[in-house]
Structure 1
Amino acid sequence: MRTNAAIREAAVRLFYAHGYKATSIRAIANEVGIQVSSIYNHINSKDELLAEIMLSVMDELLDSANAVLDGVVGGAPERLKAIIDFHIRYHAEHAREVFIGNSELRSLSGGDLEKVLARRVEYEQLLIQLVDDLAKNTGADVLDAKMQAYSILAQGAHVASWYKPQGSKSLDDTVEIYITMTLRQLGIDGRALR
């Protein structure tokens, strides 16, 4: 199991640094410190490895988002705030995986691409529903729930591209700013929800 985890971690590092196409199985094996022939005791192919990384990230994202929502006390505003908090933190803390997920979709083959896209749609639908619920329960000014969900999705990808733990903004401050910006877009004073 340690070797499997090491292979996955090496693949994430190398796919992030060099891209999927430019990363060879030999490079992954070298990074882990095993023979190329030995890597096939743990994976069937580089394609399968990429698919496993992308699917496991989407599964973790969906499972964790649903767990966060299950733990929310309060109504639609609290649920939306909680999911934005989770979404921004997840993307900041998993920047390499987020980058791979967004840049290497083109490298997935048919069935794997369909699975990843289905999970992405499921996550998107979860956000759309939260925005719709907010509009229904608070009168928030939602021009288009799907576009608002896309805005939240884009915030996560954006954070993954620039956030650094040693940077000038703490993750807590970053999360609060994104929550406030989203609520303001919807005409809701975030301070009133505290």
Structure 2
Amino acid sequence: MAWQHILFYKPYGVLSQFTDRQETEHPTLKQFISIPNIYPVGRLDRDSEGLLLLSNHGGLQHQLCDPKFGHPRTYWVQVERIPDTAALQKLKQGVTIRNYRTRPTQASLLAEPPSLPPRTPPIRVRKHIPTAWITMTLYEGRNRQVRRMTAAVGFPTLRLVRVAIAHLQLKDLQPGQWRHLSSPEINQLQSLTHLPHL
């Protein structure tokens, strides 16, 4: 079998699956990707955007999704108000959400808003409440974890964009676009996962 691995910029509102099992009428990956027998490695919530890796390699899916391997995932997160040092420190140390203590994470304020395509629909803006962007790198991927973490320290998430999975980056992809992994990216993935064939 020929292994296939692609990176996709999942737009806001798109389900991270090929079929809409609950018939919600939201767009799915099928509207963007026509490669057969390829599946998302992990997922992004419907209201999150950004990098999604898809592959037909089950071993790769297991390696990158199992929290015991601790592969990093990096997000740019627009939050309501401007987090102070204490809030960022709590995120770094791990917070308790739903009776679970998150692993330590990397978190810092971005000096400037990142250059991203506009979201459709745009986020809700409240005239007298500022927003800020933080970058967060997690080593686990629980359901809605970033949103729950920022809410736990008092700064609700307004927009969430995954920009990297380990060394794989969003770079020049635009919402709805996808591309095959390059040979160097596959080689790095092989080194990272110790899988013999990718």
TM-score (ref. length: structure 1): 0.24
TM-score (ref. length: structure 2): 0.23
Q: Which structure has greater helix proportion?
A: 1
Q: Which has the larger Rg?
A: 1
> Relative CO higher for 1 or 2, CA cutoff 8 Å, sep ≥ 6?
2
